[in-house]
């Protein structure tokens, strides 16, 4: 069977996905780039699980056949928008368009779990690849509507109108 014929699906992530996700980050820069300034390195699986907040944030994953975790992302209500956070593609599957698939899938399915008007996210100001991806999906830079904490100073805020 052709692996390309197996559909990629977005489903709810579960606590059982956390150990694999934990392995995607092997230094302080990468884990904070992904998870924000509150993430530590090294970080125990227990602490990682706590900071992930999967019990309180809508958490999703892309899977395909025997590949149970290709990409991961979370969503919650922030400033009246569905806010995407902790978006990541498995290191072994990067460069294959899965970031686009993840964000498109989140825009389609997150409104079933989070009630908001449009979408938002933060991205590191020097992450040119992600910024271009988000812009190609209709996101644009915007002024954050509240005062940002000092830890978020190096992030850009991007928004998109509802689908």
What was the pLDDT predicted at 1? 40
Domain boundaries, position 77: 3-160
pTM of the complete model: 0.94
Place of tokens 């489903």: 11
**What are the respective helix, strand and coil percentages of the chain, to the nearest 5?**
35, 30, 35
Q: Is 103 helix (H, G, I), strand (E, B) or coil?
A: helix
> What's the number of domains the chain is made of?
1
What was the pLDDT predicted at 3? 53
Low-confidence ranges of the chain (pLDDT < 70): 1-4
What was the pLDDT predicted at 163? 79
CATH number of the CATH domain containing 47: 3.40.630.30
List the one residue out of 32, 29, 30 whose CA is nearest residue 152: 32
List the one residue out of 30, 9, 11, 34 whose CA is nearest residue 88: 34
The β-bridge relationship of strands 81-89 and 119-124 is: parallel
């Amino acid at each position: 069977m052709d692996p390309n014929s197996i559909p990629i699906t977005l489903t709810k992530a579960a606590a059982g996905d956390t150990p694999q996700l934990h392995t995607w980050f092997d230094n302080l820069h990468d884990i904070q780039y992904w998870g924000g300034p509150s993430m530590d390195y090294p970080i125990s699986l227990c602490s990682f699980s706590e900071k992930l907040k999967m019990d309180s944030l809508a958490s999703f994953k892309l899977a395909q056949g025997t590949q149970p975790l290709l990409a991961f992302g979370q969503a919650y209500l922030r400033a009246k928008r569905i806010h995407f956070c902790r978006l990541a593609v498995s290191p072994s599957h990067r460069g294959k368009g899965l970031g686009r698939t993840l964000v498109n899938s989140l825009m389609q399915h997150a409104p079933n779990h989070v009630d908001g008007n449009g979408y938002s996210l933060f991205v590191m100001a020097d992450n040119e690849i992600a910024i271009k991806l988000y812009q190609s999906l209709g996101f644009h830079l915007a002024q954050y509507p509240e005062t940002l904490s000092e830890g978020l100073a190096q992030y850009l805020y991007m928004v998109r109108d509802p689908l």
